Structure 1
Amino acid sequence: MPDSTPRFTEVAPRVWVAHYDWMHVNITLVGGSDGLLMVDTHGSAAEARRVADDVRRLGAGPLTGLVNTHEHWDHHFGNATMVEQFGDLPIHATDWAGEHMEVSARHTFERYEQDAADPRRDEVLATTLQLPTHTFSSAVQLDLGDRSVELIHPGRGHTAGDLVVRVPDADVLLGGDLVEESDPPFIGDDSWPLEWPTTLDLVLGLMTDATVVVPGHGKVVDKAFVQDQRFDLGVVAETIRDLASRGVPQSEALAQGEWPWDPALLESAVRLGYAHLPRGHKRLPLV
């Protein structure tokens, strides 16, 4: 029997969010008189078909465009399914994400090919890659008819190609993985931990105290949550700078630093932070 449970919840006028248990991914629909814009498309063709069914069940209008917040697979592996289900759609992303999506996807496919025990292996490997068709460098405005939506690349953070989506008339900001409803947000091998805090400063400048913030993963949050996460990311960045300036080697940084989160979750942050520091900010290791 088909699932009749409503999946998309209206969090602001004509802005609906669906939360999916796998990876706690959020998919957002922004409605205008010309149709619906979908932000992120999930992590496999099979999951994207569920999303497509949920869009039809909502009945809020035709799907007319897609946005991928960055190049990680869990945010765009549903692209091909959406085009298959709803017709030829423009797919928007930053220039960086568009240029690096194929390489990023190849790494994902290789990882699942090597992990025969993963229950999602066959599902992910059955997915067809569909790349963005429209990319931009800093900002672009999309016309949904009676509403405009802004796509903004605020700087490097979770990746080098993150974008946020601003719906000004509804006071909604979709943060992608620059904002995650988790402590800490995921800091991976392609993150920029020293720049992430200042990138979030720009994002915070797009908000009011009443802004509804949709993270890439987890529950809907608010400006105060983003401010707190930015503060903790700032502590991580400044701690790395301080340790390196005092000559503490990278290998000892996790043990010597005072961190806002479990140090075991910050191995990539410290390694990347040390690598990204200008040479003049490092001293010879203490002996």
Structure 2
Amino acid sequence: MPDTAPRFTEVAPRVWVAHYDWMHVNITLVGGSDGLLMVDTHGSAAEARVVADDVRRLGVGPLTGLVNTHEHWDHHFGNATMVEQFGDLPIHATDWAAEHMEASAAATFERHEQDPEHPRSEEILATTLRLPTSTFASAVQLDLGDRAVELIHPGRGHTAGDLVVRVPDADVVVGGDLVEESDPPAIGDDSWPLEWPTTLDLVLGLMTDDTVVVPGHGRVVDKTFVQDQRFELGVVAETIRDLASRGVPQSQALAQGDWPWDPALLESAVRRGYEHLPRSQKRLPLA
């Protein structure tokens, strides 16, 4: 018999999180008297249909809005499906994420067109892109009826356009990929490793010692976890600055640095960090 148990788990009053095995993605629902706000929509139309069924199975109210935490495909390729399933919903994102989502999606489609043997390529390529309809620069408050929800762009980190979702009355922060329950978090070719630690300082300022933190991927965590991840990201940033100040070239940085994580996972972090260093923090030779 099919499993009919709700996948969504209530992690705080009227805040539910569902964890999906593919990419360990988390989808969050925030409930108010006017309906449900969904944070991220998964990575394909097919997976989004599973999410939609899980929302209906939970049965706690109508879906009335979507939030995309950033422009990476695994967090918004379900947008079109949610609109098809639940009606013409507003889709919220930062200005940066909305402006760069189409190009980011095109790169994803191109990768999978060139890799037809990938087990998910056909599924991903069958997805229709739907862009955000409501954007903001720094912060905005959404009215869910008897509850206010805050969307905040705390700075650059995982991407240049990350947002976090704060539910003040429930003491919940949905961190997107600024927080990942993994070591290290994904530091990619569009990340900002030198700024990420100070961005997390702002996010930590939104928390109490009891805050429930929902990462973009992995298990629900707490403030202490975020503090630890911020510290390790800070070590990465300061190690890059130190190596560059001593004239260590980028090509030798992974071998010479004392890194908190496996250096093989930090190639993009080092490359991006060296690219972003101000001239005053570089000492020749760096070739």
Q: Deviations over 1:96-141 (max 9, x none)?
A: 0000000000000000111111110110000000000000000000
Q: Which residue of structure 2 aligns with residue 218 of structure 1?
A: 218
Q: Which residue of structure 1 aligns with residue 149 of structure 2?
A: 149
Q: Deviations over 1:190-239 (max 9, x none)?
A: 00000000000000000000000000000000000000000000000000
RMSD over equivalenced CA pairs, Å: 1.0
Aligned partners of 2:219 and 2:112: how far apart in 1?
Answer: 27
Q: Deviations over 1:62-104 (max 9, x none)?
A: 0000000000000000000000000000000000000000000
Q: Which residue of structure 2 aligns with residue 254 of structure 1?
A: 254
Q: Which residue of structure 2 aligns with residue 164 of structure 1?
A: 164
The 8 Å contact of residues 235 and 260 in structure 1, kept in 2 or not, is answered as yes
Query: Partner amino acid for 1:12?
Result: A
Residue 17 (structure 2) pairs with residue 8 (structure 1): no
Residue 284 (structure 2) pairs with residue 284 (structure 1): yes
The 8 Å contact of residues 45 and 127 in structure 1, kept in 2 or not, is answered as yes
Query: Partner amino acid for 1:84?
Result: E
Q: Which residue of structure 2 aligns with residue 272 of structure 1?
A: 272
Q: Which residue of structure 1 aligns with residue 191 of structure 2?
A: 191
Corresponding residue SS for 1:27: strand
Aligned partners of 1:116 and 1:89: how far apart in 2?
Answer: 33
The 8 Å contact of residues 244 and 286 in structure 2, kept in 1 or not, is answered as no
Q: Which residue of structure 2 aligns with residue 112 of structure 1?
A: 112
Residue 138 (structure 2) pairs with residue 138 (structure 1): yes
The 8 Å contact of residues 247 and 284 in structure 1, kept in 2 or not, is answered as yes
What is the number of residues matched between the two proteins?
287
Q: Which residue of structure 2 aligns with residue 23 of structure 1?
A: 23
The 8 Å contact of residues 246 and 286 in structure 1, kept in 2 or not, is answered as no
Change (3 A) 1:286 1:4: closer
Aligned partners of 1:286 and 1:35: how far apart in 2?
Answer: 55
Q: Which residue of structure 2 aligns with residue 66 of structure 1?
A: 66
Gaps of 5+ in 1: none
Question: Residue 2 of structure 1: CA displacement?
Answer: 4.5
The 8 Å contact of residues 67 and 92 in structure 2, kept in 1 or not, is answered as yes
Moved over 3 A (4+): none
Aligned partners of 1:44 and 1:201: how far apart in 2?
Answer: 32
Q: Which residue of structure 2 aligns with residue 87 of structure 1?
A: 87
The 8 Å contact of residues 250 and 286 in structure 2, kept in 1 or not, is answered as no
Aligned partners of 2:34 and 2:3: how far apart in 1?
Answer: 28
Aligned partners of 2:277 and 2:140: how far apart in 1?
Answer: 31
The 8 Å contact of residues 248 and 285 in structure 1, kept in 2 or not, is answered as yes
Residue 210 (structure 2) pairs with residue 201 (structure 1): no
Aligned partners of 2:263 and 2:233: how far apart in 1?
Answer: 13
TM-score by length of 1: 0.99
Aligned partners of 2:3 and 2:92: how far apart in 1?
Answer: 30
